[in-house]
Structure 1
Amino acid sequence: MSLQLPSRLLVGVLWLLHWLPLPALRALGALFGEVLYLVGRERRRVALRNIGLCFPSLDAPARRQLVRRHFVAFARAFLDRTLLWWAPRQRLERLITVEGSEHLLAADGRATILLAPHFVGLDAGGSVVTMMTPVVSVYANQKNPVFNAVLLAGRLRFNAPLLLSRQDGMRRALRALRDGLPFYYLPDMDYGARDALFTPFFGVPAATITGVSRLARLANARVVPCITRMTDAGYTVELQAPWEDFPGESVELDTRRMNAYIESQVLRMPEQYFWLHKRFKTRPPGEAKIY
């Protein structure tokens, strides 16, 4: 109980923030990001290591500048979640612009996998997609039960999406896909070597789950990239045309294609990709640890 009281107080403060106009919220987020950059020594080290591996041509000052910009973008997106959790739908529709909505559902009823890489605006993309149609997605349980409840309630606000924990596995997601629910899928993190291939990401072998290829094969699903970009006015969610000739000849080639595609999107807005994650934690047998 003693641990829950401070958490509830913090949630109360966050709730108050959702009343702020976006410029004020973003200014507060920028200040929060600068503080996180200064005090978050371990995550700063991880981000610098990631940037050094993925952008070896950048010198040390440029790497530090990019990481600092990322901390600001990350903090702004975190505070923006207060809007996603509590702001009226009409306000969210003004803040989040959707491009390519015609790609969301297939005219022939074919299953759809929404490929959503880990950009800081990921939650805004998830919220607006659930505003458009019921979906299925996977979430990670938070250790703090108060924050876990808030996160779940925020993600369940619109159209009763089916949220599965990672412990539920992919079988239920596959059933939901076959039943017609688009799958908002986040496949670009290091979940260990199980069900993964070591596939290049910016030239570095990265443990990459093969779920996009395997689910597309099992559910006869098309893959629609869903890229969320933070803007000064809010967010832009870009639903791109379904990938052609996917799945391809093999799971290995499909997974390479996915990572190469994510690289191309990272290059569009490198400060908004989730560099705080230990993307290269799992190493091929015999390779030294990176972090």
Structure 2
Amino acid sequence: MKDNWQARLIMRLWQVLSKRPPRTLWRLASRFEPVYSLIGVRERRITRMNLRQAFPEVSEKARRQQIHDSLQHSIATMMELGFAWQGDPEAVEKSIVEVHGRELLDEARAEGRGVIVLAPHFGNWEILNFWLSSHFPFTAMYEPPKISALDPVIRHGRERMGAQLVPTTSRGVAALLKALKRSEAIGILPDQVPDWGSGEFAEFFGYPAYTATLLPRLVSRTDARVVTGVARRREDRRGFDIHFLKADERVYAREDEALSARGVNASVEAAIALDAMQYQWEYKRYRRTPGQRDNVPGWRERRFYKQGRSGRKL
């Protein structure tokens, strides 16, 4: 009952916001940020910890501004979901002002190669999905949401421009391989913490982060090109710029998953450098740590995010 009520409320909100342009949604996010900072204690704490890890030289005054900016971008992303999934396709396409690095995809496909797009949680990745599936045969993994009633809406929103969604299972991996062998594009979330046994620890802003090793397995079985793709909000907040960047060369280390994972994280860091506060810093990227006790899930996670790397309470 509770999930159904939440789903109806969320779907109605998406429907209303789908008719609003990005600039208006940004203004709404700005007004809601102070409230979100008060009620989102967990998100604010994790954001502070992650920013302190990534930018240790920043003063506390500047850090407070970073936290404000980061949370506002995250709110904007949530508000833009209706626009990306249900907005008029012409309006969404028009909101994408510039596309940088498209030649990386075009050249790979002209050579008969597939393209693996590393799409970190930066800017609005749903706008990136919209553009990719509008211009290329595009396949991505999909995991249904916790609120099952939202599944049809989200799935339709992501598939409406032609994207093929596949499950996060071995069957889904097989579908990704087939798409690459057809010289198509696929999307991978490079900064999502994988299950134990599906990753390697690799430095991310100077601290070990458990990183998925699906990429080297795909690279080893195809001749795919790897690029990083993001949809960055423009400075005037009236739309987005799509950026495709060459991935760090270490991602092609087929026989060394740990080295490839370092390349993945370096590629994500390069994308974040476009506008660091557009990254989703409230995500627990370091929730798995070296030496973590498997029989007590999250024990180091709680310690890390409550006290910080130095042991100081945040």
TM-score, length of structure 1 as denominator length: 0.91
Matched, 1:95 2:98: no
- Cα pair 2:66 2:277 within 8 Å, conserved: yes
Distance 1:190 1:6, change over 3 A: closer
Q: Residue deviations 1:189-214, cap 9 Å, x none?
A: 21233221111111101101122222
- Residue number in structure 2 paired with 1:234: 239
- What value does the CA root-mean-square deviation take over the aligned residues? 2.2
1:16-165 map, 5 Å: 16-96=16-96, 97-105=98-106, 106-159=109-162, 161-165=163-167
Q: Residue deviations 1:166-201, cap 9 Å, x none?
A: 245523322222233311111112123322111111
Distance 1:147 1:31, change over 3 A: farther
- Residue number in structure 1 paired with 2:173: 170
- Residue number in structure 1 paired with 2:201: 198
The number of aligned residues is 290
Distance 1:21 1:273, change over 3 A: closer
Q: Distance in 2 between matches of 1:157 and 1:47?
A: 33
Q: Could you say what secondary structure the match of 1:284 adopts?
A: coil
Q: Distance in 2 between matches of 1:87 and 1:158?
A: 12
C-alpha displacement at 1:245, in angstroms? 7.8
C-alpha displacement at 1:244, in angstroms? 5.8
Q: 1:262 aligns with which of 243, 254, 268?
A: 268
- Cα pair 1:113 1:184 within 8 Å, conserved: yes
- Cα pair 1:118 1:188 within 8 Å, conserved: yes
C-alpha displacement at 1:6, in angstroms? 4.5
C-alpha displacement at 1:86, in angstroms? 1.6
Q: Distance in 2 between matches of 1:76 and 1:217?
A: 38
Q: 2:216 aligns with which of 213, 218, 226?
A: 213
Distance 1:273 1:191, change over 3 A: same
Range that drifts further, 69-78 or 167-176: 167-176
Q: Distance in 1 between matches of 2:23 and 2:228?
A: 29
- Residue number in structure 1 paired with 2:296: none
C-alpha displacement at 1:44, in angstroms? 1.1
Q: Distance in 1 between matches of 2:121 and 2:38?
A: 23
Q: Which amino acid aligns with 1:254?
A: S
Give structure 2 stretches of 5+ with no counterpart: 294-299, 306-314
Q: Could you say what secondary structure the match of 2:67 adopts?
A: helix
C-alpha displacement at 1:117, in angstroms? 1.6
- Cα pair 2:228 2:271 within 8 Å, conserved: no
Q: Which amino acid aligns with 2:159?
A: L
- Residue number in structure 2 paired with 1:271: 277
Aligned identity (percent) is: 28
- Cα pair 2:247 2:267 within 8 Å, conserved: no
- Residue number in structure 2 paired with 1:179: 182
- Cα pair 1:33 1:73 within 8 Å, conserved: no
- Residue number in structure 2 paired with 1:222: 225
- Cα pair 1:192 1:282 within 8 Å, conserved: no
Distance 1:44 1:220, change over 3 A: same
C-alpha displacement at 1:243, in angstroms? 6.2
C-alpha displacement at 1:108, in angstroms? 1.8
Q: Distance in 2 between matches of 1:22 and 1:69?
A: 16
Q: Distance in 2 between matches of 1:173 and 1:53?
A: 34
Distance 1:94 1:282, change over 3 A: same
Q: Distance in 1 between matches of 2:5 and 2:41?
A: 27
Q: Could you say what secondary structure the match of 2:202 adopts?
A: strand
Q: Distance in 2 between matches of 1:206 and 1:244?
A: 19
Give structure 1 stretches of 5+ with no counterpart: none
Q: Could you say what secondary structure the match of 1:180 adopts?
A: coil
Distance 1:15 1:229, change over 3 A: same
Q: Could you say what secondary structure the match of 1:219 adopts?
A: coil
